[in-house]
Structure formats: structure tokens, C-alpha cells
């Protein structure tokens, strides 16, 4: 039996037959240091990404939508420098209460990006890892 490559495995075994997209979520350099100090932030951040996408879809559909995503953390970027970021393979839509697929393509990511920025900073504020004045500077 031939060993499947990871991409083939995703395509043939895991992915639904519904449309999906890949996103990369990155954070400001000033906040990356916290991920070296607190490993729990990786899962918190993955949950933040998924809840952001779910909320975005539910607002667009004006109903409860159940979606899916595979989110993976990567700690390095080019030249192997520390660069906390997340790769997310996201179902482009979700299932309503009648288990009907609702296609919700994301055409313009500007609103999603702004919401993402605010949630990141809100997460660090709620954990008392940054001061209000620093959060205001990051948002300006």
C-alpha cells in the first residue's frame, strides 16, 4: 500500500466536498514574544480564529451556522526567524439547523482583518498581558 502525502490525505480522506479556503493569520511583532513565554496562547489563539470565522459566517447568514476548520500553528517564517502565525483551512460556509450547506464566500477580507486585529488585542488585554495605552497604540 502506497503512503499518502499529507496533502493527498487531506484531499482524499478529510476534506468535505464543499468549498474551502486557506488563510494565514499573523500577529504584530510586538506581541510575538508572549507566545514564547506562554504555550497556552497557541490554543487560545486557534480558538479565537475559529470563533472569528464562525461569528463572521453567522452574521452573514443571519442564522446559526456550523462550520469547520483545520488550524495549524507555525513558529517560524523565512530564514527560520521566530514568527508566530497560523495556517487555517476553512470551510467556506457552513451548515444551518436543517443541515443544508450555506455557501458564504469571503470576497473582501478588510472587515474580517479589522475584526481579527481587535480580537487579538482584546485577548491580550483580557489576560492583562498588555496595557490599555499599548493596545490603543497598536490599533492606531
The residue among 69 and 2 whose pLDDT is bigger is 69
Q: Is residue 139 part of a domain?
A: no
Whether residue 12 is contained in a domain is answered as no
66 falls within a domain: yes
Distance from C-alpha of 51 to C-alpha of 32, rounded to nearest angstrom: 21
Does 130 fall in a domain? Answer: no
Cα–Cα distances (Å) from 107 to 2, 33, 112, 130, in that order, read: 38, 32, 10, 33
Give residue 51's pLDDT: 92
Q: Residues 102-138: pLDDT tens digits?
A: 998 888 788 888 888 899 899 989 989 889 999 999 8
Backbone torsions φ then ψ of 67, nearest 5 degrees: -115, -175
Residue 2 lies in a domain: no
The band of 10, judged by pLDDT with boundaries at 50, 70 and 90, is low
Question: pLDDT band at residue 1, thresholds of 50, 70 and 90?
Answer: very low
Which residue range(s) make up the domain with 51? Answer: 19-106
Number of domains in the chain: 1
Amino acid at each position: 500500500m502506497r503512503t499518502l502525502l499529507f496533502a493527498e490525505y487531506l484531499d482524499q480522506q478529510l476534506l468535505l466536498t464543499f468549498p474551502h479556503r486557506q488563510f494565514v493569520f499573523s500577529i504584530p511583532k510586538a506581541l510575538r514574544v508572549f507566545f514564547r513565554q506562554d504555550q497556552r496562547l497557541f490554543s487560545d489563539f486557534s480558538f479565537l480564529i475559529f470563533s472569528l470565522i464562525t461569528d463572521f459566517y453567522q452574521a452573514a447568514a443571519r442564522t446559526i451556522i456550523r462550520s469547520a476548520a483545520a488550524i495549524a500553528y507555525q513558529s517560524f517564517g523565512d530564514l527560520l526567524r521566530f514568527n508566530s502565525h497560523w495556517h487555517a483551512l476553512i470551510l467556506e460556509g457552513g451548515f444551518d439547523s436543517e443541515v443544508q450547506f450555506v455557501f458564504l464566500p469571503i470576497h473582501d477580507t478588510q472587515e474580517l482583518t479589522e475584526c481579527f486585529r481587535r480580537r487579538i488585542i482584546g485577548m491580550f488585554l483580557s489576560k492583562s498581558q498588555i496595557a490599555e495605552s499599548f493596545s490603543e497604540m497598536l490599533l492606531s
